[in-house]
Amino acid sequence: MKLEIGNFYVKDIVFGEKTSYANGILTINKEEAIAVVKEDDHITEADILIAKPGDKTRIVPVKEAIEPRHRVGGGAVFPGVTGELSAAGNGKTFALKNCSVLVVGKHWGGFQDGLIDMSGEGAKYTLFSQLQNICLVADTDEDFEKREQQKKNHALRWAGMRLAEYIGSCVAELQPEEVETYELGPITERPQEVQALPNVVLVLQPQSQMEEAGYNDLVYGWDCNHMVPTYMHPNEVLDGAMISGSFMPCSSKWSTYDFQNYPMIKRLYREHGKTVNFLGVIMSNLNVALEQKERAALFVAQIAKSLGAEAAVVAEEGYGNPDADFIACIVALEDAGVKTIGLTNECTGRDGASQPLVTLDEKANAIVSCGNVSQLIELPPMETVIGELEALARDGLSGGWSDDEILGSSVRKDGSIIMENNAMFCGDRVAGWSTKTMVEY
């Protein structure tokens, strides 16, 4: 499969008469864009705001991030989700870089939502502080969800994808500034010098723990809870086959933007033919029952050995219960003779003294940590809040609270906040963005 991603580098975003792109400036017709959002009657209120790096702006509750794109030749950017099912990963796709569509609740947050600061101390915790963000701030008539801690956010998430497609379409007739080419031929037909390199496979464990439909990550529109581990071409992941769900503490999430730009996939591509033979991706899942976890681990190990993998990288979306899947997968791979590295965050408590993962095994002896989800973060007030700051304290965000006998509320009267890293939007960057380092004492 050969995927060409044509990039347009956004330097600034403004509102204007016509949605267009020229000389690094993305112009958005706000009225048209909101009309696209409101194609779903469940959207009751909507506005679009721009948040730029360096702005003294706090955004919360953030539910999703999507890179604006256009599929050259027609078809949905997200096959099986925003349009008819078709193959992803082959052909040409245009992408507006250095920007994202952020889906933000106008009022109601939840367990899976997070916070972004565009400047100051908080900005270093999340990639999205570095982007030009098109903030869709909206509310819905899905009243049954509003006071639920766990929300599907269906109308809002789908509105974000439609908006990303609408904005991406403005470059349909333009020539990209740069073209990235991703091509991996059939494993058995690769040059001998490539096949002589160490064979490496990437194992991804997207969030799929919820047995009720509507919460989990999707693969071509299919709930990942219903899948068994399968081989995927890495181009499919980069080209819209994977959609983020609405579950998991927010710092641990992989947004759709993360899937579209998955850094670990891109790094393995860069090493392909030089230091490794990149075999592709085994897309696994995260399960509920122990038997399901063990079954998935056996599937992963079998696929890896059948592909001829000598080494694997395993990345999990989440922590806690998913740690059992993560460790089981690493152990099964090691037992099959595949040297394995794990990528994950840790939940070591606010004092850092608790066991980092729910389950551990001596065979899981090469783990890259992306930080402690329970780390306390204190941030000063911001001049502007996009969304509703009180959501951090009121609505059960995984890193916020309404009251603590020692710390009080996450949201203080002066607008400053105290929260756990859990609430930082995609803050642990397990996908490979992480700038966090470990210090050994």
- What one-character-per-residue DSSP string does 304-316 give? HHHHT-SEEEEEE
pLDDT at 378: 98
Mean pLDDT of 131-153: 93
> What is the reported pLDDT for 438?
64
Quick: pLDDT tens for 34-87.
999 999 999 999 999 999 999 999 999 999 999 999 999 999 999 999 999 999
Instruction: Give 144's pLDDT tier (boundaries 50, 70, 90).
Output: confident
pLDDT score of 403: 95
Average pLDDT over every residue of 180-204: 97
d(CA 59, CA 44): 20
What tokens does 269 get?
A: 């591509």
pLDDT tens-digit series, residues 242-262: 999 998 889 999 999 999 999
What local confidence, expressed as pLDDT, does residue 434 receive?
79
What are the tens digits of pLDDT across the range 123-140?
A: 999 999 999 999 999 999
Half-sphere exposure of 110 (CA within 13 A, CB side): 19
Phi, psi of 396 (to 5 degrees): 75, 25
SS3 (DSSP) at 134: strand
Length of the chain measured in residues = 441
Residue 288, class by beta-carbon neighbours within 10 Å (0-12 exposed, 13-18 middle, 19+ buried)?
Answer: middle
Integer Cα distance of 136 and 64 in angstroms: 10
* Residue 149 confidence (pLDDT): 86
In 10 A of CB 345, how many CB atoms?
29
Q: Which residue has the tokens 């993998």?
A: 309
Place of tokens 């982007």: 131
**Residue 441 pLDDT exceeds 70:** no
Does residue 439 register a pLDDT over 70?
no
Instruction: Write the pLDDT tens digit of every residue in 204-233.
Output: 999 999 999 999 999 999 999 999 999 999
Structure tokens at 204: 């991804």
Within 13 Å and on the Cβ side, how many CA atoms surround 369? 13
Tell me the pLDDT tens digit for each residue of 282-319: 999 999 999 999 999 999 999 999 999 999 999 999 99
Write the DSSP assignment of 11-76 as a string of letters. Answer: -EEEE-SS-EEETTEEEE-HHHHHHHHTTSTTEEEEEEEEE-TT-SEEEEEEEEEE--EEETTSS-
127-157 burial: b if 16+ Cβ within 10 Å, else e = bbbebbbbbbbbbbebeebeeeeebbbbbbb
CB neighbours of 413 closer than 8 A, spacing ≥ 6? Answer: none
Q: Which residues contact 206 (CB under 8 A, 6 or more apart)?
A: 216, 217, 219, 224, 242, 245, 254, 283, 285, 286, 317
User: What pLDDT sits at residue 312?
Assistant: 98
Q: What pLDDT, on the 0 to 100 scale, is given for residue 352? A: 87
- The C-alpha atoms of residue 354 and residue 296 are separated, in whole angstroms, by 27
Mean pLDDT of 97-120: 96
Ranges of H-type helices in 123-171: 143-146, 154-168
CA distances, 19 to each of 15, 27, 47, 101 (Å)? 8, 5, 16, 15
Q: Output the furthest CA–CA distance in the chain (Å, rounded).
A: 66
pLDDT at residue number 440? 67
DSSP for residue 431: T
Residues 6+ apart with CB under 8 A from 185: none
Cα–Cα distance measured from residue 169 to residue 319, given in angstroms and rounded to the nearest whole number: 37
Residues 6+ away with beta carbon under 8 Å from 3: 89, 90, 91, 92, 93, 181, 182, 183, 235, 238, 239
Cα(260)–Cα(240) distance, rounded to whole angstroms? Answer: 6
Question: Strands 12-15 and 25-28, how do they pair?
Answer: parallel
Lowest-confidence region among 27-31, 116-120, 145-149 = 145-149
Contact 421, 375 (CB under 8 A): yes
Nearest CA to 241 out of 151, 249, 227 is that of 227
Q: Is the pLDDT of residue 436 over 80?
A: no
